[in-house]
Amino acid sequence: MKKSFIALAVASALTVPMVAQADTTLFGSARFDVTDTDSADDVDSATNRIRFGFSGEETMDSGLTAGYFIRLQASGIDGNDGAAANGNVGVSKVALFIAGGFGKLILGDADSPVQRAEGVQTLTAMFDGSLEVAGSEFSHGGISYESNVYSGFQFRAGVGDVDSDATSAEDSYGFSVDYSNDLLDVSIAAGEEADASLFGIGGKVKLGAFTVGAAYSDKEDFASYGSLSAKYVVGKLSLAAQYETRDLDAAGAKDWDSVNVSAQYALGGNASVTLGAIDYNDAAEAGGKSDTVTLRYAISF
Amino acid sequence: MCRLKGLKYLLVSMVLFLSVGVQAQQDIDPLESYNRKAHSFNNFLDDVAFKPLAKGYRAVTPDLIETGVRNVFGNVRDLGTMVNNVLQFKFEHAAVDLARVLFNTTAGIGGIIDVATVMGLEKHSEDLGQTLGVWGVPSGPYLVLPFFGPGSFRDSPATLIGVDAWSYVNHVPTRNVGYAIRLIDSRVQLFEFETLISGDEYIFIRDAYLGLRQQAVMDGVVDETFNDDDF
């Protein structure tokens, strides 16, 4: 009798906050990888990424929508991989937004427009974009704008951390024009990052069970990037491949090339198994890249 | 389940072929005299060598290991199936075959565990004879080759020159031991079907073989027009 009363009290205590936060969505994902890395000459298994977070939106008195996206991440919880060892959890992405008839204003983390243009054509399930040149997203202090979609067209613009005393690494901005329909996604973007101008164009087109994509980008005084990718979907199975090249501007520097392939099978219930591999050329390996094969079991919620 | 399906095909094919008539039998088996001699020779080999070896293998090998060995060779065979599916323009099946090999070779520890089937990736079976059949090459007369068993003018050469991924194993002793184990394991799998044989064994096996091959080429679709006069 006493136990029933306690259980009822606990249930009531849990129920009240759930009702109060009914518009909040809890989401997350976890991966278990078995990885064979060429440089380490080692096979390693690890729960190498756990992410979870909350997102939601509310209507303000003005009628505009206020929203939030907060994602936390624990890396390398087996203590062997990554910086956040032994179960440490950190904030990996935070973005607040205000949306209305004018579009959406995003405050916080967001992909820079050029970074997004590079990634539009990403089709492989693992190792994609390893040689991209616009690697920096607008970090926590970023301010971005996304227009509404007009006949498939959308305009984006944004700046990175706003800090007049900051180093040039945080001094970034960019804008893009995207077009999207059922078969086609294209993004053209330009901007600046670390005092270097950036330009990028990427797209993908769906041809039945096949999707093919391509991207080109250039970062001043650093490198240009090119990519070709393809994906073939059969039911719950997808096979994909990507070729990437980074043409370094430095005198005498050799091009970095990579080929990555993946096979992903959806097990249902938001679980999947993925086998991926990436192979770099000698110049990329000399620059610190390593050939890798990974077998991954992942689940999201 | 697959074997029951195979048995069903076998029985259906028997009915079909028994209804074709004497004239048709001469068309499909003009070399019957030679074939019967080759069949007897193969039976002799089976009695003195393959059958005893297969019985011994099954007696001393735990079921778990037997299944693992069968899975390894099945995984290798999936590569040949993939190539033949490409040649037959069945790209969806080829993609599934490729995924089967990738997942079984890695997650399945070299193919010992058939994790792909557990995941839901359907196993297919294609060979060069089926590919030639899909391309329109007729089966030709029934042909029994010593050591190789039942076949046809189309299928027997295709068996000899077909895609056998195991033949690309570089280490010769490993390759040869593999051939031997695969042969014995194939014989083990026939034990359960031996009890089905009745009447003239040669005709039973011939008709069953030709019927199953037709089913395989047609992917299970029976392309026969039944005539009331046949019944």
Residue range A162-214, pLDDT digits in tens: 666 655 555 788 999 999 999 999 999 999 887 889 999 999 999 999 999 99
Q: Does some domain include residue B128?
A: yes
Which residues make beta-bridge pairs with A273? A265, A297
Distance of residue A45 Cα from the nearest chain B Cα, in angstroms: 12
Asked whether the beta carbons of residue B102 and residue A275 sit closer than 8 angstroms, the reply is yes
Q: Name the residue facing B106 among A234, A236, A295 (closest C-beta).
A: A295
Tokens of residue A254, six digits: 């050799």
SS (H, E, C) A255-282: CEEEEEEEEEEEEECCEEEEEEEEEECH
Asked whether the beta carbons of residue A239 and residue B99 sit closer than 8 angstroms, the reply is yes
Domain ranges, residue B154? 38-199
**For residues A276 and A127, is the Cβ–Cβ distance under 8 A?**
yes
Averaged pLDDT for residues A157-165: 76
Q: How much is the pLDDT for B192?
A: 84
Q: How much is the pLDDT for B7?
A: 42
Asked whether the beta carbons of residue A236 and residue B120 sit closer than 8 angstroms, the reply is yes
State the total domains in chain B.
1
Listed range (A5-9, A143-147, A255-259, B87-91) with the worst mean pLDDT = A5-9
**pLDDT above 70 covers what percent of chain A?**
83
Q: How much is the pLDDT for B27?
A: 78
Tokens of residue A6, six digits: 């306690």
B230: confidence class by pLDDT, cuts 50, 70, 90: very low
Asked whether the beta carbons of residue A267 and residue B120 sit closer than 8 angstroms, the reply is yes
Averaged pLDDT for residues A13-26: 60
pLDDT in tens, B102-156: 999 999 999 999 999 999 999 999 999 999 999 999 989 999 999 989 999 999 9
Taking the C-alpha atoms of residue A71 and residue A94, their distance in angstroms, rounded to an integer, is: 6
Using DSSP bridges, classify how beta strands A42-59 and A65-75 pair: parallel, antiparallel or unpaired.
antiparallel
Q: Does some domain include residue B229?
A: no
The amino acid at B38: A
Q: Does some domain include residue B8?
A: no
- From chain B, the residues in CB contact with A275 under 8 A are 102-103, 106-107
Q: How much is the pLDDT for A262?
A: 95
pLDDT in tens, B12-65: 444 444 444 444 556 789 999 999 999 999 999 999 999 999 999 999 999 999
Asked whether the beta carbons of residue B119 and residue A265 sit closer than 8 angstroms, the reply is yes
Q: Does some domain include residue B213?
A: no
The interface predicted TM-score (ipTM) is: 0.70
The 8-class DSSP code of residue A138 comes to: B
Judged on CB neighbours under 10 Å (0-12, 13-18, 19+), A160 is buried
Q: Does some domain include residue B15?
A: no
The amino acid at A107: L
Q: How much is the pLDDT for B224?
A: 52
Distance of residue B164 Cα from the nearest chain A Cα, in angstroms: 24
pLDDT in tens, A110-134: 888 888 888 888 888 888 888 888 8
B143: left (phi over 0), alpha (psi -120 to 50) or beta: beta
Q: How many CB atoms lie within 10 A of CB A203?
A: 19
Chain B nearest-CA residue for A234: B92
Which residues make beta-bridge pairs with A89? A74
Taking the C-alpha atoms of residue B20 and residue B211, their distance in angstroms, rounded to an integer, is: 12
pLDDT in tens, A20-70: 455 799 999 999 999 998 877 678 888 878 889 999 999 999 999 999 999
Reply yes or no on whether the pLDDT at A18 is more than 80: no
Q: Does some domain include residue B24?
A: no
